[in-house]
Amino acid sequence: MGVILVVAGFVALGAWLHVTPLYAGFLLLWAWSALHELSLKALPGALIGALTGAGMSFLLQTGTATGSPALIVLALVLMIGALFFVVAGRAALVCNQSTMLFITVFNAPVIQAGEDFRQVLLAVVLGAIWFAAIVWLISKFVPAPSAEPEAAQAS
């Protein structure tokens, strides 16, 4: 029931603020939860990586929409560079798994063809704020799991 309330709350907040591509916020939630187990310390990296990936995809979309080969080449060079940074483990705050996920998803032809990336970026930030607030609130009321389950059972 709690998950339904969290999801419904995010959808209602997005509808109230007229932010339509809420899937982008859910994509950040998935990346943050799957890769970082909802660690609040890891959220900045996941968020910055997501915005970086979405921004590069926005650059590619703008280049193709305006017929600018320079923007297209710049976007592709940045994406290839980001891939090398991830593989090399460099610039991890900006180029990380979240970056690669957002590049992969947002360069799908159906998304490139008609998505408003300003709304996508807004949805990602809104998702980060909403889900971080929920995780923080839960952490205040629900105790963290014990690091040593054997010690708890022995006593």
Q: What is the chain's pLDDT, residue by residue, as a tens digit (155 residues)?
A: 889 999 999 999 999 999 999 999 999 999 999 999 999 999 999 999 999 999 999 999 999 999 999 999 999 999 999 999 999 999 999 999 999 999 999 999 988 888 999 999 999 999 999 999 999 999 999 887 776 666 555 55
3-state DSSP assignment of residue 19: coil
Beta carbons of 10 and 124 less than 8 angstroms apart: no
Beta carbons of 21 and 115 less than 8 angstroms apart: yes
Query: Residue 62 falls within a domain, yes or no?
Result: yes
Measure Cα distances from 23 to 26, 52, 67, 69, 106 in Å. Answer: 5, 17, 28, 29, 11
Query: Residue 83 falls within a domain, yes or no?
Result: yes
Tokens of 13: 């907040």
Tokens of 110: 């159906």
Query: Residue 12 falls within a domain, yes or no?
Result: no
Note down the domain range covering 25: 17-29+43-133
Query: Residue 90 falls within a domain, yes or no?
Result: yes
Query: Residue 47 falls within a domain, yes or no?
Result: yes
- Angle (CA) 97 25 126, round 5°: 120
User: Which residue type occupies 77?
Assistant: V
User: Residue 151 has what pLDDT?
Assistant: 55
pTM to 2 decimals?
0.87
Q: Where are the beta strands (DSSP E) in 29-139?
A: none
Query: Residue 2 falls within a domain, yes or no?
Result: no
Query: Residue 7 falls within a domain, yes or no?
Result: no
Q: How many domains does the chain have?
A: 1
Query: Residue 49 falls within a domain, yes or no?
Result: yes
